[in-house]
Chains A and B, each alone.
Chain A
């Protein structure tokens, strides 16, 4: 117990943090597009589960992980297109539609999985995505192990965070997304097709959640279970609010959750004299505290969760 805070301890914790943050970051990035356009998609947990299943099934039968990721992304887009239809075209209550999508996604994915594989003695598996050590960089002591010895999707997630920031802050498309989220009527009067932009934003969100779901089943793990997402879809929504709809801050939020998870695991393992039930709460406590501290500063998009219609005033 005396010298637990060694270099190995920190290297292991930080590398673990980066992996644990990845699925949350990916999902949160997509949700930022969605929410910036004024739509709250609470169905991410279900979307991720569907994509985890689809990604696994595609990878299992094609023996190709790339096809697995593609399948996951496409299914994520289909799920979110359904959400977009409900919230934009049908103008349903988004909280209810999202919750329903979560329940449907989890139930439907385990149903499909059972139809395809039945009940087996041992679960079907794929060869999961192996880690890719970035040449030169990965051999830097400590830093290399922490940052440059992960699988490709992990690197991609952090690149996408920067990319998403550029898209939202520096492009016309980003401006359109924000415009329909802040004041759809004004955007409409300027000739922006509100529902088209919103559909696009929600489906982009689905693609991200899809990649993240497939990451869970074929990159993080090598098998599927209907409970494997384990609340990460909801944590991602919390991270979006914490990040105040900024992709770079979402990276910070995800890493914060990641380090809290990594620390609690490590503390349990080395036998810190705190009951494990309290340590297990740590990541969620951090999430709540983080949300409370930033909630005053959070300025929700003005048209958040409000369906738009030209007919109404």
Chain B
């Protein structure tokens, strides 16, 4: 029954968007973005949604964009993909690992349509994978947390121990140990990306135990971590968006995602035809290509010693120049 509600919700959004975009010109590429969650989830979905809206603005003469939200169950994904493909959409984004199997199946039936998979490993000539190298972002946060901690204890809170979240956490630990080999790192997975109360409780228990700075790897749970930081008067590091305004006295910095450049790459490659000629095709956002950056310190700048700021900036530059080699965490798992 939950599924029925979702399908109805999708249909509602679809019908609204379809009616809204009827008047647009026909020459443009039709782009569909299918999100597994809500566009305002503060994280995985929102980062993509905001970037897509930005590209839709900048490429207003080239593309028109349709977005559907909350297509989460695998059983709903294939019909949604089929629907867009048979309506003649040119590029279809399935934003999540669970899109992999249905996306490959539908892509086989529509070889003229470009399909993009948000995290995954299977490809066809007309599909590509886009993903985030969160290990580099995590590494940078680890360096910052390691340098800033006075107690020698830092923490990290995540949703679940999967793909980019796992790589991010491992990168964080690796980064922190690179500046302080004796550092103690407390790690909690809440098992869910939305239970912000559980995440808050996890963060409070870490702060109580002497942890003085926590990075969260995103989603609704991140809000719980920031709320705990506010309550305990400690530092937290954000993820995905610049979360400074949520707790100006506590959010020291954070990883910021920029999907827009690679969305533009994808669209340019589809227009030029290169998209269909390369297989396998992967688009990564990472520090070297500017897809991952870190949020400024704002008014907390005077709480961060100049040498720490310089070292973080240097680490960022070294990651950007490829001077820091990170191990393959997933292989080590």
Query: Which B233-253 residues have a C-beta within 8 angstroms of A?
Result: 241, 243, 245-246
Collect the chain B residues with CB atoms within 8 Å of residue A123's CB: 40, 42, 223, 246
**Stretch from B73-81, B97-105, B197-205 at the A interface:** B197-205
Complex Cα–Cα for A78 and B293 (A): 47
Shortest Cβ-Cβ A-B pairs, 9 listed: A227-B194, A280-B191, A12-B208, A269-B186, A230-B195, A119-B40, A268-B188, A276-B189, A265-B202
The answer to the question of B168 belonging to the interface, with a C-beta cut-off of 8 Å to chain A, is no
CB distance from A78 to the nearest CB of B (A): 20
Collect the chain B residues with CB atoms within 8 Å of residue A225's CB: 41, 194, 196, 220, 223
**Stretch from B1-9, B114-122, B273-281 at the A interface:** B1-9
Asked whether A16 and B224 contact (CB < 8 A) given A121-B50, A230-B192, A269-B188, the answer is no
Collect the chain B residues with CB atoms within 8 Å of residue A277's CB: 161, 191
Closest to A96 in B: B1
Asked whether A99 and B1 contact (CB < 8 A) given A221-B196, A265-B205, the answer is yes
Collect the chain B residues with CB atoms within 8 Å of residue A269's CB: 155, 186-188, 202, 205-206, 209
Asked whether A266 and B194 contact (CB < 8 A) given A119-B39, A122-B42, the answer is no
Per-position binary interface string of chain A over residues 250-275, scored 1 when its CB falls under 8 Å from any chain B CB and 0 otherwise: 00000000000110011011110000
Complex Cα–Cα for A261 and B241 (A): 29
Complex Cα–Cα for A119 and B195 (A): 20
Seen from chain A, the residues whose Cβ lies within 8 Å of a Cβ on chain B are 8-9, 11-13, 16, 19-20, 23, 99-100, 103, 107, 110, 114, 117-123, 125, 128, 131, 216, 220-223, 225-228, 230, 261-262, 265-266, 268-271, 276-277, 280
Complex Cα–Cα for A13 and B40 (A): 33
CB distance from B48 to the nearest CB of A (A): 12
Collect the chain A residues with CB atoms within 8 Å of residue B161's CB: 276-277
Asked whether A265 and B201 contact (CB < 8 A) given A122-B42, A128-B227, the answer is yes
Complex Cα–Cα for A11 and B198 (A): 18
Inter-chain contact B241/A122, CB cutoff 8 Å:
yes
The answer to the question of B180 belonging to the interface, with a C-beta cut-off of 8 Å to chain A, is no
Closest to A230 in B: B195
Collect the chain A residues with CB atoms within 8 Å of residue B198's CB: 230, 261, 265
Seen from chain B, the residues whose Cβ lies within 8 Å of a Cβ on chain A are 1-2, 5, 9, 38-42, 46, 49-50, 155, 161, 186-192, 194-198, 200-202, 204-206, 208-209, 220, 223-224, 227, 231, 241, 243, 245-246
Point out which of A221, A227, A265, A271 has the most chain B C-beta atoms below 10 A from its C-beta: A265
Collect the chain B residues with CB atoms within 8 Å of residue A120's CB: 40
Collect the chain A residues with CB atoms within 8 Å of residue B155's CB: 269
Inter-chain contact A122/B243, CB cutoff 8 Å:
yes
Inter-chain contact A276/B191, CB cutoff 8 Å:
yes
CB distance from B57 to the nearest CB of A (A): 15
Complex Cα–Cα for A61 and B220 (A): 22
Inter-chain contact A110/B205, CB cutoff 8 Å:
no
Complex Cα–Cα for A57 and B224 (A): 19
Inter-chain contact B205/A227, CB cutoff 8 Å:
no
Inter-chain contact A221/B200, CB cutoff 8 Å:
yes
Inter-chain contact A122/B200, CB cutoff 8 Å:
no
Collect the chain B residues with CB atoms within 8 Å of residue A13's CB: 205
Inter-chain contact A227/B220, CB cutoff 8 Å:
yes
Task: Pick the residue among A99, A128, A268 that contacts B187 (CB under 8 A).
Answer: A268
Complex Cα–Cα for A271 and B9 (A): 41
Complex Cα–Cα for A220 and B243 (A): 20
Complex Cα–Cα for A120 and B241 (A): 12
Closest to A113 in B: B40
Complex Cα–Cα for A288 and B188 (A): 23
Asked whether A262 and B50 contact (CB < 8 A) given A221-B224, A227-B194, the answer is no
Complex Cα–Cα for A103 and B231 (A): 33
Closest to B195 in A: A230
Given contacts A220-B197, A225-B220, A228-B197, 4 further A-B contacts (CB under 8 A): A120-B40, A122-B42, A265-B198, A268-B202
